[in-house]
Amino acid sequence: MKLYLIIASLCFVQFSFGQDATNNPTSKIWSLEDCITYAIENNITIKDAGLNKNIAEVDYNKAKSSRLPNLFGSASQNFSSGNTIDPITSDYVTDQINSTNVGINSSMTLFQGNQISNQIKQNKILLEQSVFQEEIEKNSIVLNILETYLQALYSKESIVIAENNLDASEKEVLRAKARLDAGTIALNDYTEAQSQAATNKYNVISAKNNYQQYIIELKQLLELSPLENLEIETLDDNMDLINLNLNKIDVYNNALEFLPEIQASKLNIAANEKELDIAKGGFLPVLSLNGSIGSGYTSINDTTFSDQFDLNFNQKIGLSLTIPIFNRNQTKAAVQTATINIEKAEIQKQTTEKEVYKKVETAYQNALSAQEQVIASEASKEAAEQSYNLAQKKYELGDLSTTDLVISQNTYTNAQQNYLQAKYLNILYYQLLQFYQGNDIKL
């Protein structure tokens, strides 16, 4: 009873799977190159990195504008009564006064310990770094798509294997039923054949579900609508084995030149060095140019409003020099912090280089292993296939039990899966090595 409930549940899932495909009868066949191109243009993680780059560009332009003088306008209207000082004439009076003041003020920093120049240079470095950070996000999405795409292809081929096994096991059930009716096998042989068919049915549903899960993940990377159907391109048979003819040291050296995280770590050191220059500028004096123009009106003067504005018009220009003497060691602390951050940035660069080497070394060793596994698993698959074909013939002649036939079929299935896994691992790690050298990923 439990077995029938499982089969019924699996059939319902299969029906849902079929309905989903039927509702989208026409769909584009997506190649790996199509997925990568589309994701780079539409993935929200990449878009967010692009916005961070835009912010860095705004900060750079803002830093350049700090060289320019500022300009402020001011206007005030005041009323006072009693003993007060006239804001226009500066006379001490006892009266009610209405006064108006207007003016324009400007100031410009002429020298600030080269802090402005160094800030501009630092923001330019940070802008360049943000470009590499955007490339890092793009590469991350590209590698995620590569891995998910190959996993989806692996699951898609697993469906074919599972369906072939199901078809074979269903035929075996029919043969077992005929032999049971003829009295040549026991009931437990027939039920074992049924059990194997049910297991293979489960494997088909499971394989289809795995495929759909990877398709969902791929849709999310592409930012496609959940309602949009996505069908991926199947690989050619000549892609089964890729010969590895690469030197891992050459791959590593190319990766150091190509990967944006290396360039970003170098720029991180440069940005912190500029931060040190900015901090040291705090020890130097600041020279500023200031200027203003203005005029005003007061009610205690009998002159007209326009005449007073003309009479009270004033201009002022001057220089101000600020010399740092003691600021509670704030500048000293800033210099020490910047020095430490330079050392940390250098360590981070070394860490990044180590991580790159680990990735290259891992991909290279896995590629070698996968290449050998393809050859070994292909031989194992061919041997298991011959053994299974022979077992089927013996079973038809009554020279083999159902148990032995099931064992032979499972051995063949495992050999197929091992070969399929080795095949796609070989492709994956080869493509990773190509990527680390700056080559395009394509199948």
pLDDT in tens, 20-61: 444 443 468 999 999 999 999 999 999 999 999 999 999 999
Considering the domain boundaries, does residue 55 fall inside one? yes
Buried b (16+ CB within 10 A) or exposed e, 180-207: beeeebeeebbebbbbbbbbbbbbbbbb
Partners of 93 in beta bridges: 84
Between 3 and 131, whose confidence is greater?
A: 131
* 3-state SS assignment for residue 244: coil
Model confidence over 317-360: pLDDT tens digits? 999 999 999 999 999 999 999 999 999 999 999 999 999 999 99
Report whether pLDDT(16) > 80: no
Spatial contact of 400 and 176, defined as CB atoms under 8 Å apart: no
Report whether pLDDT(15) > 80: no
Spatial contact of 274 and 121, defined as CB atoms under 8 Å apart: yes
Considering the domain boundaries, does residue 335 fall inside one? yes
Report whether pLDDT(198) > 50: yes
Task: Give the pLDDT of residue 12.
Answer: 43
Residues 344 and 271: their CA atoms lie apart, in Å, by 12
Report whether pLDDT(179) > 90: no
Considering the domain boundaries, does residue 104 fall inside one? no
Radius of gyration over every alpha carbon of the chain, rounded to an integer in angstroms = 39
Task: Give the pLDDT of residue 242.
Answer: 63
Considering the domain boundaries, does residue 92 fall inside one? no
Work out the average pLDDT over 124-143.
Answer: 97
Report whether pLDDT(220) > 90: yes
Considering the domain boundaries, does residue 420 fall inside one? yes
Considering the domain boundaries, does residue 179 fall inside one? yes
Residue 376 maps to which CATH number?
A: 1.20.1600.10
Report whether pLDDT(8) > 50: no
Task: Give the pLDDT of residue 17.
Answer: 42
Distance (Å) of CA 111 to CA 60, 67, 114, 292, 319: 19, 10, 7, 20, 11
Task: Give the pLDDT of residue 27.
Answer: 60
Backbone angles phi, psi at 107, to 5 degrees: -145, 155
Buried b (16+ CB within 10 A) or exposed e, 89-103: beeeeeeebebbbeb
* 3-state SS assignment for residue 375: helix
Task: Give the pLDDT of residue 75.
Answer: 95
Work out the average pLDDT over 89-100.
Answer: 80
Q: Which two tokens stand for residue 60?
A: 């750079």
Report whether pLDDT(19) > 70: no
Report whether pLDDT(14) > 50: no
Mean pLDDT lowest among 113-117, 175-179, 359-363, 380-384: 175-179
Model confidence over 225-278: pLDDT tens digits? 988 999 999 887 655 456 677 888 999 999 999 999 999 999 999 999 999 999
| 268 CB-side CA count, 13 A | 19
Between 238 and 102, whose confidence is greater?
A: 102
What's the maximum distance between 2 C-alpha atoms anywhere in the chain? Answer: 133
Between 92 and 149, whose confidence is greater?
A: 149
Residues 304 and 427: their CA atoms lie apart, in Å, by 91
Domain of residue 374: give its range: 49-68+113-204+232-284+324-436
Residues in the chain, overall count: 443
Residue 234's Cβ-count burial label (10 Å; 0-12, 13-18, 19+) is: exposed
DSSP 174-211: HHHHHHHHHTSS-HHHHHHHHHHHHHHHHHHHHHHHHH
Distance (Å) of CA 165 to CA 8, 147, 291: 19, 27, 90
Full-model pTM: 0.85
Considering the domain boundaries, does residue 39 fall inside one? no
Spell out the SS3 assignment of 138-156: HHHHHHHHHHHHHHHHHHH
Model confidence over 283-305: pLDDT tens digits? 999 999 999 999 999 888 878 88
Q: Which two tokens stand for residue 202?
A: 């489960």
Number of structural domains, the chain?
Answer: 1
Nearest to 76 by CA among 59, 98, 107: 98
Considering the domain boundaries, does residue 10 fall inside one? no
Residues in contact with 199: Cβ distance below 8 Å, sequence separation at least 6, in sequence order: 169
Task: Give the pLDDT of residue 343.
Answer: 98
